[in-house]
Structures are given as structure tokens and as C-alpha cells.
Structure 1
Amino acid sequence: MTGGLSPGMRQYQAAKQQYPDALLLFRMGDFYETFGADAEIVARELDIVLTSRSSDSAGKKIPLAGVPYHAADGYIARLVRRGYKVAVGEQVEDPKKAKGLVRREVVRVITPGTVIESELLGSAEARTLVAVALDRRTDQIGVASLDVSTGAFSVLVTRSGSDCSGLRTELARIGPTEVIVPASADPDLIAAAREICPVVTPYPDESFAPGTANELLKHHFQTATLEGFGCAGLPLAIGAAGAALAYALEMHHAPLTHITTLSTRTAEERMVLDEITLRNLELVSTIRGEAKDGTLLSVLDRTGTSMGARLLKSCLVSPLLNREQIEERLDAVSFFVDHPMVRSEVRSLLHRSADIERIAGRIAYGSATPRDLVTLNRSLTVLPMISSLLSDPEVTVPAEVATAVAGIEDPGSITDLIERALVDDPPANTRNGGMIRDGYDETLDHFRSLSGSGKDWILDLQQKERERTGIRTLKIAYNRVFGYYIEVTKANAALVPAEYDRKQTTTNGERYTTPALREQEQQIAEAEEHLLERETMLFAALLTSLAGSVPMLQQNAASVAWLDLYSALAEVAVQDGFTRPVIIDEPKVLIRGGRHPVVEQHVEGGFIPNDTSMDGAEEQILIITGANMAGKSTYMRSLAILCIMAQMGSFVPADHATIGLVDRVFTRVGAFDDLARGQSTFMVEMVELANILNHVTPQSLVILDEIGRGTSTVDGYSIARAVLEFLHGKGKSGPRTLFATHFHELVDVEATLKRVRNYHLAVQETGTDVIFTRQLIPGATDKSYGIHVATLAGVPRKVTDRATAILAEVMGREYSTTPKKARYTQMLLISPESEAVEHPAVKALRGINPDDLTPLQALQALYALKEHLRGGGV
């Protein structure tokens, strides 16, 4: 009911009914006010005072909470970061000129996925809105991704999967801040989306309808067809893209002209990294969910611009599958590696570039600030220097670098306009003027002259009154509440002329005015009002003029981003000792001296590199055994990371790397309960394993760590062996698999499956102590050194001593009956103090001088060493 409400509250209620799911901030004078339930939420979330205003029609006090309008951006940003929608109800007419109630309208709805204002974005990371259209009959989903702050807009059609695993994979790759789904969407789809993004918004089904979406997209892009965007025959893509655009337009109440194109991607053009792999490999966030620090992204991100940082993250989670495209990126990185001076100069210039892409978006939207434009101007001035540096006829640049340079268009007309229009150090906003340069507009200069002469008149009056009254401390001041006034201290009250009119009493004295001062004050106020109106109008016109250059600015921003990416990857390659990988089509991997790029930065004493040799013909599956804490998981993760880095176009941490293209990386490492889904540790393990086995191809890379450990030994061993046999039989050459296990019985599989090989992480035993060497060597081991690890972890000595005794008892009982056949072939690393019998192969190797051998003799020596290994012993 609104019968007993004031006109202002009735106006508020009408606006609230239009946006019931948003917190409505309603401009009333110098504050944005919230009422009722909204006020209670705002007071709690912002930790501000909750009060109340006059009663409603039922006689009940209405909760009230407000924030100053000039500081509202900071408060809105906090609400949006916590997942709230905020509708901004603004005064759309001048209160001074309004007749009766000031007209107010909702001019903007700010949601986590539609933020464009610089004050609300907070960081350079992409703020992405995702729309999902689903067809259960075909098990297909259309996923549209829109970054309103930059205008980046793309769509993909892929399989969903009965458990929505395809949706989760795509959302995990994008990392959206908001997802919109059809209002009639299945609860399973909504739940899957919420696992990745907590802000999931139902949106009318009609917006996802291909026909409606098609018309909206054509109207927005001013085209007769969508064929040029590659999605004309993809109704799910059109539905998702149309819904995303419709939602953004509705929230912004503006045309969003900086969204100028839509790219259609295919699932086959990039390596698939699902949410589990992204988490386990800690590519962009840690397993604990912490952003960036301790991730591969933190190691690779040496970018100098926000555009480059966003592009790097996008490339990292979407490695390429086309070898030619990968090689082109590697050529670009190699160029900057091989030209250190050019790299240094380009990076120095890039660090002077602000976020051109986002400023262009704000120009198109009309929300760019004076400081945005001055910052843009400074950034644009470096572009010709970058272009000139990379256009030297004596330096041959690779295709990708040349393409990026060709995309840089001379921004001279823009920089000239901004320099003529704006002062060098403008205010943060246009609220109080002061941003337009003298000489830019004659009318503005005239108003400034009037305002300035009026203020000079005030200063002159102050001096005259001091001389006339004899009050040396008399001063004429101004504030927004009382305007201009003459201030006299109490000590000089007796000297105040009779014609002074008292205006206000203060603690230290009195404030007065005079007819002449009032008249001059009115003239100054009128001049400054005209001045502010003119300056605001000129700035708006400047934005309108610049809006036509937004496509050019976006093109320049894209070129800057690619050059930033290539030079940054080159910088990390040089500083961290990375090497260019060799990319081949065959399902092989040959790594010499491979390292984990993140772990190596935190290891005291240096990281121990390892070799890996895998091919589909002989070494498709490597069974990795070894002690707990020996480094099995780090080794396996490092191989997966090297493949991802190589296919994104980066150099890799290795002495040499030949990598056959990988279509998908699967990882199953660690163990945890998923209580939210009601799944035990073992169930989570089996669900992840099922996903791998149902989607793996011969071109995939599979990382499996301790399959079957969550159940009984017999069941676990049976599952682990069956998985090995399944992967071995998947194809004649793949998938390439690293299989770490403590089921030492599995090492016998090497004798029955021809493409399985045993390896282990060796240890060095010195009496009762164990040293983890982190070195991968051929052969298997049946020792886990679990008690030693327990000691290192701080388990009480009484427990570990008893465990040692029990182990000795069990081992003695096991070997006192029927002797067991040795299942391992490792070369034990024994401390120098221990007596050791030199292996015949080692003895033979010591007698060989490579410099004295012909190629044929070297080959014969190699065969002889192999015979020693087969027949020799320790």
C-alpha cells in the first residue's frame, strides 16, 4: 500500500517494483538513500548506521540507510563484489528548476558481470558475463562470454554432458563473475553453474529464443545476417549471445556501441582443460582457491599492461591445437628472446600504457572521466614509438609481430584533440569543473573571466574594508552553505560598522554581509553556474567526438596486448632459463632436464630436473613408484604444465623439449570429500576417474596419482590395474599416461603390457636416515618410507618407533614363508660410507673413452652395456 506514503516514498516504491531483485540506491539531495529490506542489507554489508524515517501507512517506521552521493562508487563497488545487484535511481532534472517533486529514474543497474566504471572494476582482470543456452535433446550448450568493460564478445557450442561437466569445464576456463540462464533452466544446470560462479541470474526464456536473439544481434551490429560472425547456423550460439547482449543492454540503459563484433569459437581449436585439471595444476588459482600467487600465471605474468595480462590468462587456459599457430607464437617469443635491446625498449614503452581497451569502452558508454582521457592520451603517444621500433628495415620480425605492428594506427588526431581540450592535470570527475583548458572555447573563457573578475572584486573589497574599519584580521570567505561572508573576531566586534548585517555567530566571532557583497555573490554564482554548465557540455561533446574512434582504439589495444604477451613470455624465458619447445604431430614427449616452473622458485638448494621419454609405440604408460614425499606428484604435474605452456606458445623450463600435440590434459591427484554433493573421498575419486575414461582420446595426456587408494587394498589394486589395461588398450599409440601408485604389485604389468614402463623417484639411504633425491630413474621400487615421512611430519617418536617395530615384524613374517619374487629393478643409491659392489655396466662404462670411438664402435658399446644391464647385478 502507498496511500499513506509521502510523494518521495511513492516514487521510490514505483522504482523498486521495476527492479525487485536489486538494491535500489535512490538519490535524494546529497545522499543515495535505501529503504526497508534494502536498507537493512546495505547497513549490514557496508557497516553503516541503520536508522528510520516517518511511518508507513500502517504506522510502522521505515528502515533507512544512506551513503553520500559523491562517495557512492566505493560503496557500490563493495556491494557488487559481494554479489549484489545495485540499481541507481538518479535525479534526472535540476532540483532548482523542478516544479514540485524532482523527477527520478533508474539510470543504471550494476551487476557483477556488467561493471564498466573504473571505480567499480577494481583490477585489470576480466569481468565476464556468461549466458548459457541448453538443448537437452542434443546434449549441446551455447556459451556466450561478454566483457562489457572491453567489448570482448565470443560464443562457443559444445557438449554439456549428463552431469553438466562440459558446462563446468567452459565456465572454469572463462572464470565468469556472473552467469545468466533461462528462467526455466533445470536445477542441475543452475547448480553446476553455481559451483563455478556464485552469481547465477535467471533471465526470461524469450531472450534465449534464437529468433528473438537473432533480431537483436543483427540490430545491434547493423547487419542483415550473422553469417559474418560464424554463428548463422548455430541456434544455441545465437540464443546465448543474444541473451548476454540483451541483459547487458537492459542493465546499462545505453546502446553499448563499443561491442562491435562477435567471434564464434569451436571446441576443436583449443586444448581442453576441465575444472579439475585447472585446479590440480594450479594454472590461475591455487587448489585452495587463492588467486594468482603460487600459480603458473604468477610465474609467467611479466606483462606491462592490463590488456596483456588479460590476454596472457586467456591463452594460458586455452592452449592451441594447431601446430602452425603454435609455431607462429613461438616465433614471436623467439624474436624478443633473440633481440634483448628491442625487448627492453618495447617493454619500457609498454609499461607507460594504461588500459586503452577499458577506457575505450567507457568513452563509448559516456562514463569516461577527464583523467581517463588524459591517461589515454599519454598511453597513445607511446604507440608510434613502439611501431617505429619494430618497423626497422634492418630487423626482420616474424609474422605475428608484424601483424600486431600493422594493427597500430596513428592516433595523432585523438591526441591532438585531447591535448587542446583538457588541462594537463584534470580533476577525477566533472562534478566541479576545472578540466577544460583555457583557449579551447571562447564562451567558456568569457564565463571564466566573469567568475575570475568577481573573485578579484572580493579580494579588493577585503583590502578596502580592512583599511576602512581598521580591523587588520578582517577576511572575506566562502562556503557552500552560507556563501560569501565577512568574518570578524570577537576582539574586534566594537569596530564593526553599523551597516554590516549579522549573518552567523561562531565560536570565535561573527560573520556579516553587506548589500554590495550580496549583489557580487549573486553575479559570481550566476557566472560559475554558467561556467560549470558550459564546461560539462564541452566535456560531453568531447566524449561524443571521441566515440567515433573507439574501434581504432580497440584495434590498437589488441596490438598492444599481443606485443605485451610475446615480450613478457620472452622476458620470463630469459630470466628463468626456459627453452623453445619442438612441436610435433606424433604422440611423443621427450624432455631433458624438465622442471616445475612454480616449485623451482621456492626450492632451497635448487630444483632437481628430470627427463621424460614417452611415445605411443614403446613407452605409452609410465608407472611411477617411490617414497612418499619423493616428488612424484611434482614431477607429473611438471610434465602436464610443460605441455600446456608449449601449446599456448611459451618457452618451457627444460634443457630440451619435444612435445607431440595434446588435445586434452586429464589429472586425478589428491583426495578430498565433496560434502556439498554428498560424495565421499572415494566417490570423488571415482567420479573424476569416470570423466577421464569416458572422454580420453589417443592424443590426450593423463596424470593419475594413487588411483584406488580410497578403498580396500584388493578393490583398489583391481581398479588400478583395470584402468591401466583400459588406457593401454585405448589405441595403438596413446593416450600418454603417468600413473603414480603405491600398489607395488602393479609393476608386474610391465611384463604383460608392451607399452608400459616402470620408473621411480630414487632415495639415498644412510643408515636409519633417508634422503629424497627427487631423481626419476628406470625401474620400480616397493618401498614407501611412510614411517620416515611420519617422523618428518612430527608424529610422536613413541608412535613411529612402534610402527618401525611392527613393520619389521610384518616384513619378517612375509619373507619367512615362501620367498617372494623381487618386483623391482631399481639401482639403489647408497651412501658413500656404505660398502657397495659396483655394477658391471658402471664398471664397463668407466673403461670407455668416447673420444676414441667411431660411431659404429659407440653403437656396439651401447649394446654391450645393455647386455650388462640384463645379466648383471649388484
Structure 2
Amino acid sequence: MGSVCTASYIPQIGFVLSLPIKTSEEQPEVPDYDFVFESHDARHYKTETMRELDEKFGDVYVEILTRENATLLKLSEAILDKLPRLETALDLVSEVDCLMAMALVILENNWKKPEVVEDGPLEIVNGRHPLQERTINPFIPNDTSMGEEGGRVHLLSGPNSSGKSVYMKQVGLIVYLAHLGCWVPATSATIPLVDNIFTRIQTVESVAIGVSSFLCDVNQVSRAMSGGGRRSLFIIDEFGKGTLATDGTALLLGLVSTLANRGHEAPLALLSTHYHQVPKLLPETGVLRYKKMETEGKSGDIVFLFKIVPGIVDNSGALDILDKAGIPDSVTNRAHQVISCIREGKEIPIAEDIPDISQVHNQVSIFLDLKLEDLEDMQDEQRKADRLNENLTKFLKGLCELENI
């Protein structure tokens, strides 16, 4: 044919002779060439020479796969035979990697070696949150003293955004790191061995589990109360906030009372709350201590110092947060007025833009007494109805504002 041809190997088919297709015209049959198939640019044939190659080399691809599988099988058997040693080596390598990572973090962040004891008080000097301190400069450290003279149950109060949750988390993390054998972010620390760390910090909500956020909180506290003992650590942040304030106060009061009544068998428990009336309802006990986040300034100009000190806070500082968040003055002014009346035991006045209720009653009565069949008075009654609608709108608007407060 005078065309350049090539010999090719194709799995499952073997060796073939490939002749290029130069035109779109029908290709003539070639003597002693057995046609096999045609591709887009060549026709492939079996010849005597190709069959000899098949006999000599066989199906090379299948042979390669067979030998490859046999090699992998032998390798798998060898690995399984040495599996215990390999697992031990991997465990040692991972442990070394973990220790090196810990050592690097310790050196970079000036962590100190804690003293882990069998039993005794939890003492932390200048404790820091290992992550929060990397994002805030300067980070304000805090001391922690729980157990024996320091009290086993601490009730922490403080304004919103004053650092309560960060402090509680840092205590839990320091205790956890010490149990890992790691140094801790503190000047010094004495950590007693604990059997469990129970937390109610983050509410795990999901449509799939079919429970409310409040029920999730209750379940977390329930597991802590049923599974925790003297050797346990409780970190409970604002328990009871997901329901009515009176019910939440009662739940927190019952929880703190139960823990305090255990005396020296109580777990090391750190609780925070905005229910400032709870301390007034709790009995005096040697295991309960009150702590607060220190602030300076008066309402409207509070400065957070982020330091833990003994005491009780009676103001959540929520209105100061409203002011800083840009809430309209009409809302914050009304909120200040209502809170002031509640604290002084005075009656909460109706907002000035809400009409007198007696006038509203009169207008409603007029509207209900309308005689629509009297067409001559319809225009006058329409004006009365418009005034009634205006007054009702103001009244409802004022009620909504009061309800939001």
C-alpha cells in the first residue's frame, strides 16, 4: 500500500498492525491482512507476524495485572504479619509529634508546668485563655482558688461582655491541659485530679434531635448532676436563661442550693448568672463563694476591667450595651424609665404617647353603637371612626413598645 504502518499492543486484543487512513474513500482489502477494527485515523489488522507476537508474549496487560496483584497480596501479608509492630511505631510517632507540638506552643506562649496532685484545692495564679490571649493585647489574667478555704462552689456575676464566659472556659481548659500532661497558660497552677469535666456552655441545637435549646441545657445539667461527684469539675454558664425569668431563677437557685448542700462532697463548680436576686435567696454556707467581674464607672459609662473579685453584681449593664449598639434613644430612654421604677418599687407609668384608656373605651363604645342604616349621619360617624382608628393605632404601638421593654 506504500503507507507507513505501526505495530501496536491493545489489551484484550493483542498485537495489531495499524495502517493510517489517508482519505475518506472506502479502503481496499489487503491480502493476508485480517481486518480487526477501525478507529478515527487508522485501520487495524491481524497478520501472521502479529499472531507470532501474540504467541510469544501473550496478553501482556493481563500478565502485568496478575503479577501486580500477586505482589500486592504478598505485601499485604507481610504488613499484616508485622502489624502489631507497625501500630506500635505509628503510636510512638504520633505521640512524639504531639509532644513536639505541645513543646512548641509552651515555648512560644510562656506556659508553665502545673503541679498535678491526687487531691486538694484548685489553685491557678494569673491564668489565661490559651486562644483568647492570642487575639487580645493585653489579655487580663485572673486567679482561681477553689476547694477548702476557697469554697467548692463559685457563683459568678457580672455585666454583659465583661468576660465571664472567657474566664470559665479558661479554667476548664487549664484543668484539661494539665490532665493531658501539658504545661498551662498561667504563672503557676496546682491541679487536683478530676474524673470528669461537665460543661453547660454551648447549646447544641438541631432540628434532627427534636428538642428545644432549653431542653438541651437541662439535659446537659442533668448529666452533670447524675454523673458528677466530689472529683468532678462543673462549668455551667447562665443556666436557666432559655425560659421565663422566674422559672430560670428558680432552676438556678435549686441547682446552686443542691450543690452547696453537698458540703465538702460537692464538685468543684463554677457557675455564672444574670439572675442577681439568686444570692439573696441562698443560705450561708462554707462551700459557696460569690465572685464578680470588676467594672468602673456609672450606668451609661461602664468600663470593663475583666478582673475577678469577690462580690455580687446587681446590674447586667444591658442598657449600656444597647447604647453602644446604636439602639434608638426612644427605646433606651423608655427602658431606663421602666427599670428605675422597678428598682424603686414604683408603678410603671404609661408612655406619654399612649392615649388614656378611658378615652379608648369611649371611642370603642361609640364605634360599637354605630347605626349603619342611618345614612345621614354616616359622614360624621366616618370622622369619628377615623379618630378612633388613629387612637387605637397609637395605643397598640405603645403597648408593643412596652412589651418589648
State the TM-score, normalized to the length of structure 2.
0.72
Provide the rounded CA distance (Å) in 1 between the counterparts of 2:66 and 2:218.
68
The CA deviation at 1:583 is 1.0
Query: Equivalent residue for 1:725?
Result: 257
Provide the rounded CA distance (Å) in 2 between the counterparts of 1:761 and 1:686.
26
1:690 alignment partner AA: S
Provide the rounded CA distance (Å) in 1 between the counterparts of 2:275 and 2:68.
77
Q: Is the 8 A contact 1:588 1:659 kept in 2?
A: yes
Aligned CA distance change for structure 1 residues 563 and 794 (closer, same or farther; 3 Å): same
The answer to whether structure 1 residue 544 and structure 2 residue 77 are counterparts is yes
Query: Equivalent residue for 2:22?
Result: 490
Q: Is the 8 A contact 1:621 1:756 kept in 2?
A: yes
The CA deviation at 1:582 is 0.8
Query: Equivalent residue for 1:807?
Result: 339
Provide the rounded CA distance (Å) in 2 between the counterparts of 1:545 and 1:721.
64
**Aligned ranges 1:355-394 → 2 under 5 Å:** none
The CA deviation at 1:588 is 0.9
**Which residue of the other structure, out of 80, 84, 94, is the alignment partner of 1:561?**
94
Provide the rounded CA distance (Å) in 1 between the counterparts of 2:292 and 2:72.
69
Q: Is the 8 A contact 1:590 1:613 kept in 2?
A: yes
**Which residue of the other structure, out of 637, 642, 656, is the alignment partner of 2:169?**
637
The CA deviation at 1:813 is 4.8
Query: Equivalent residue for 1:517?
Result: 50
**Which residue of the other structure, out of 100, 110, 115, is the alignment partner of 1:582?**
115
Aligned CA distance change for structure 1 residues 516 and 669 (closer, same or farther; 3 Å): closer
The CA deviation at 1:718 is 3.7
The answer to whether structure 1 residue 741 and structure 2 residue 273 are counterparts is yes
Query: Equivalent residue for 1:617?
Result: 149
Q: Is the 8 A contact 2:11 2:61 kept in 1?
A: no
**Which residue of the other structure, out of 636, 661, 664, is the alignment partner of 2:193?**
661
Query: Identity percentage over the alignment?
Result: 27
Q: Is the 8 A contact 2:263 2:286 kept in 1?
A: no
Provide the rounded CA distance (Å) in 1 between the counterparts of 2:80 and 2:271.
56
1:736 alignment partner AA: L
Aligned CA distance change for structure 1 residues 563 and 687 (closer, same or farther; 3 Å): closer
Aligned CA distance change for structure 1 residues 488 and 682 (closer, same or farther; 3 Å): closer
Helix, strand or coil: the match of 2:263? coil
Q: Is the 8 A contact 2:257 2:282 kept in 1?
A: no
Helix, strand or coil: the match of 2:18? strand
Provide the rounded CA distance (Å) in 2 between the counterparts of 1:628 and 1:681.
20
Query: Equivalent residue for 1:709?
Result: 241
Aligned CA distance change for structure 1 residues 591 and 511 (closer, same or farther; 3 Å): same
Larger radius of gyration: 2
Provide the rounded CA distance (Å) in 1 between the counterparts of 2:324 and 2:19.
77
**Which residue of the other structure, out of 466, 476, 486, is the alignment partner of 2:7?**
476
Q: Which runs of 5+ in 1 are unaligned?
A: 1-468, 816-874
Query: Equivalent residue for 1:231?
Result: none
Provide the rounded CA distance (Å) in 2 between the counterparts of 1:811 and 1:485.
101
Higher relative CO (CA 8 A, sep ≥ 6), structure 1 or 2? 2
Provide the rounded CA distance (Å) in 2 between the counterparts of 1:540 and 1:497.
46
Helix, strand or coil: the match of 1:758? strand
Q: RMSD over aligned Cα, in angstroms?
A: 3.6
Helix, strand or coil: the match of 1:630? coil
Query: Equivalent residue for 1:181?
Result: none
**Deviation string, structure 1 residues 812-848 (Cα, Å, up to 9, x no partner):** 5569xxxxxxxxxxxxxxxxxxxxxxxxxxxxxxxxx
Provide the rounded CA distance (Å) in 1 between the counterparts of 2:206 and 2:40.
67
Provide the rounded CA distance (Å) in 1 between the counterparts of 2:123 and 2:179.
15
**Aligned ranges 1:178-217 → 2 under 5 Å:** none
The CA deviation at 1:656 is 1.4
Provide the rounded CA distance (Å) in 2 between the counterparts of 1:486 and 1:674.
64
**Deviation string, structure 1 residues 313-357 (Cα, Å, up to 9, x no partner):** xxxxxxxxxxxxxxxxxxxxxxxxxxxxxxxxxxxxxxxxxxxxx
**Deviation string, structure 1 residues 635-684 (Cα, Å, up to 9, x no partner):** 11221121111112121122211112222222223557777676555444
Deviation larger for 692-701 or 657-666? 692-701
1:624 alignment partner AA: L
2:312 alignment partner AA: A
State the TM-score, normalized to the length of structure 1.
0.36
Aligned CA distance change for structure 1 residues 699 and 547 (closer, same or farther; 3 Å): closer
1:645 alignment partner AA: L
The answer to whether structure 1 residue 787 and structure 2 residue 319 are counterparts is yes
Q: Which runs of 5+ in 2 are unaligned?
A: 348-405
